[in-house]
Amino acid sequence: MDKRQAIICLQKKGYKTTDKRKDILHFFERANGYRTARDVNAYMEQRHPEISFDTVYRNLHLYHAIGILEATELNGEKLFRMKCSDDHHHHFICKDCGKTAEIDVCPMDHIGNALANYYIEDHKFEIYGLCPACQRT
């Protein structure tokens, strides 16, 4: 997903494409990894000094709901990133810069019938550490 596709997605579903919405997408297009709502706020405040963080949170939530962004949670903060390709996979997440790497292994393929009587809704597999670039600092 890139900015262009996201804008099409917004329009298709009848949402308005405001400058602020476009700028949020622009931010994520360049981010290449997970970012906090605070990061987005900081970026947006440069361009729109009067922006309300309600606008940021509302749009992050919207983008997540309609599948433009994906979200996770770390240290009590929500993190967002552009949705990547549709095939199921997990992520390595750099604790320093938020950059991610795809992991194609899914542990659900290996659990067999260990949870036979359980109703499974969801799962989370993430690896945390330092990406090659951040190890050098």
Q: Contact positions toward DNA, by CB under 7 A?
A: 11, 15-21, 36-38, 48, 50-55, 57-59, 61, 76-78
Residues 60/38, Cβ–Cβ less than 8 Å? no
Task: Output the smallest distance, CB 90 to a copy of itself, in A.
Answer: 8
Beta bridge partners of 71: 80
Task: Output the smallest distance, CB 90 to DNA, in A.
Answer: 21
Q: Which two tokens stand for residue 109?
A: 């393929």
Residues 6+ away with beta carbon under 8 Å from 24? 40, 44, 56, 59, 60, 63
Give the x/- contact pattern for a copy of itself in 37-76, rule: CB under 8 A. ------------------------------------xx-x
Residue 115 binds to a copy of itself (criterion: CB under 8 A): yes
Angle of the 37-47 helix axis to the 53-65 helix axis, nearest 10: 120
The entry of DNA, a copy of itself, none that residue 126 binds, CB within 5 to 8 Å by partner kind: a copy of itself
